[in-house]
Amino acid sequence: MVQRALGGGLAALTLVFLAGCSSQPQLAREGSYDRPNTLFDPAQAIQQGWIPSTLTPGADDRRTDYGIASYQDRLSIRAEGQRSASALLLRTDFDAEDCPYLEWAWRVERLQENASLFERDLEDVAASILVIFGDPGSDVAPRAAPTLRYVWTTARVPEETIIDSPAQPGVMRSIVAQHGIESPLAWESERRDLMADYQAAFGRLPQDRVRAVALFTDNDHTQEPVMAHYGAARLLCRSG
């Protein structure tokens, strides 16, 4: 395995258990949405300008270790927890109505078995992709922009569960895309309908364009070992 550092220009709460669906929501659409548009790619990660970010106001300086990894000739953005909580953020700008489908591949080698998305003091996630609708601001001046977070977590939480984040209630809603580990070397491919997922999570359609995406792996709460790999992601947009 080859790895190198990725630089870049990167109390008790009432928890809302919003849904526990067995299948992904979809919106009916006319026309074709088959025009691919690369969102991010490990082969281009250094050039794409990822920005290290804490995402959460008041977070400490402990950073997750993000880098480029290669295993069996497949590149990934590797994330390894260092008893830390930080993200890689990539600025973008697209309308989810025109480009509603998001596809990506990822795998998790190790996850935090004691993590819980329902408890603020245990809200670690093995892997997640955040889709931020609106300007998230910066670490110095963060803004509360509505965020869909696709997560890979423990097997205890059913897939398609939607959870209001106890750390950022009303702002970040997590959708469980994968749970548990069948094989630490197995890649999983995802395809999500951003508009349908946003409506299911927030009860309305988005009012803003997608201004940023982020990769986020953390273990600051459980301090249990975690390692995840993120492959390429692309949008499927309206043709013509």
Check: CB of residue 133 under 8 Å from CB of residue 102: no
Q: How far apart are CA 19 and CA 200, in angstroms?
A: 8
Which residue shows structure tokens 């209001």?
A: 164
Encode the chain (240 residues) as per-residue pLDDT tens digits. 444 445 443 333 334 455 455 689 989 898 899 999 999 999 999 899 999 988 665 556 689 999 999 998 999 999 999 999 999 999 999 999 999 999 999 999 999 999 999 999 999 999 999 999 999 988 777 889 999 999 999 999 999 999 999 999 999 999 999 999 999 999 999 999 999 999 999 999 999 999 999 999 999 999 999 999 999 999 999 997
Q: How many CA atoms lie within 13 A of 220 on its CB side?
A: 19
198 three-state secondary structure: helix
Going by C-alpha positions, the residue among 232, 210, 215, 24 that lies closest to residue 128 is: 215
Please give the pLDDT value at position 10.
35
Listed in sequence order, the residues at least 6 apart from 215 whose beta carbon sits closer than 8 Å to its beta carbon are: 66, 77, 79, 87, 88, 127, 128, 129, 130, 230
What size, in residues, is the chain?
240
Structural domain of 150: 2-237
Structural domain tally of the chain?
1
120 three-state secondary structure: helix
Q: How far apart are CA 128 and CA 113, in angstroms?
A: 16
Please give the pLDDT value at position 91.
96
Going by C-alpha positions, the residue among 96, 28, 35 that lies closest to residue 240 is: 35
- Beta partners for 129? 150, 215
E strands, 14-146, where?
Answer: 17-20, 35-40, 51-53, 65-71, 74-80, 85-94, 101-110, 127-133
Q: Do the strands 172-179 and 147-153 form a parallel or antiparallel pair, or are they unpaired?
A: parallel
Check: CB of residue 90 under 8 Å from CB of residue 213: yes
Phi then psi for residue 71, to 5 deg, are -140, 125
Please give the pLDDT value at position 80.
97
Please give the pLDDT value at position 56.
62
Write out pLDDT tens, residues 83-97.
999 999 999 999 999
What's the token pair of residue 96? 């989810």
Please give the pLDDT value at position 60.
60
Which residue shows structure tokens 């569960």?
A: 161
What's the CATH code of the domain at 182?
Answer: 2.60.120.260
